[in-house]
Structure 1
Amino acid sequence: MSKNSAVVLFKQIETAGSLVIQGYKAVQTLREAIPFAMREAGYDITFEPGSDPELVDYLTVAGTSGVEWAAGGAAVGALLGLLCQRPGTGAAIGLGLGAAVGIARGVHRVKQGWRIRAIHVANRVPQVTIHAVR
């Protein structure tokens, strides 16, 4: 997926006001559009209570991890690129490798963690259910 795909999806949602997407490829693009919407537009993303917890984690945890690792990879790549007097190339390679590692680690974290469902039951009494995922 590219940043352009995420930007296009972001603009489609902004223009239409809502959008239904389906399929693995579309979810990957949405995963990239969420951090873009949060970072560039300053949006807060809220998932509806009935959302599948694993998909929510996949969209948020994996994407955030990818962005964090991409930034670190770009910095290290730029420093290594300085040795070859090509910091831009080093940064680009580091960014790509960092993003790939970060997303893989994020997906792994989704598969090992907790699933928490917080709801209000009768008389708005909070109820939290926690499942350890192994």
Structure 2
Amino acid sequence: MVIGPLTSPKDADRIVDILVSHNNLHTPATAREPFHLVVRDDSDVVVGGALGWTAHCWCYVDILALVPEARGNGEGTRLLTAVENLARSRDCIGVYLFSYSFQAPGFYERHGFTAFGQIADLPPGHVTVWLSKRLDGDAQ
């Protein structure tokens, strides 16, 4: 066997398929369904959005970002609410994500997320904070 770089995007798809096949032996079969939400200003310019996927009845937010000018006026709350609504529409029981200490862990906590793990010095001098929120009202 040889270990090396991907030679085609299909290589990455194959790796995902291997893991999903294994997981589906142990859990109800599920597929990773990506989502992409975009925030545009009045001039139709993209000023932020959210990217992630749903799988195993949970929604993972990989990226949620807004340009500085779009922060502090409720747009982040509207975007996070849109993610939660999308998760509910896909029958998810919760949403999870991470935020660096210099980003927005407090924002997520103000919106009902609870920290469930941290990694110090990722990136160096900062902390990665993992957060989750159940959408069914149960404990984290």
Higher helix content, 1 or 2: 1
Larger RCO (CA under 8 A, 6+ residues apart): 1
Q: Given the two structures, how large is their TM-score scaled by the length of structure 2?
A: 0.29
Q: Given the two structures, how large is their TM-score scaled by the length of structure 1?
A: 0.30
Give the greater-gyration-radius structure (CA). 1
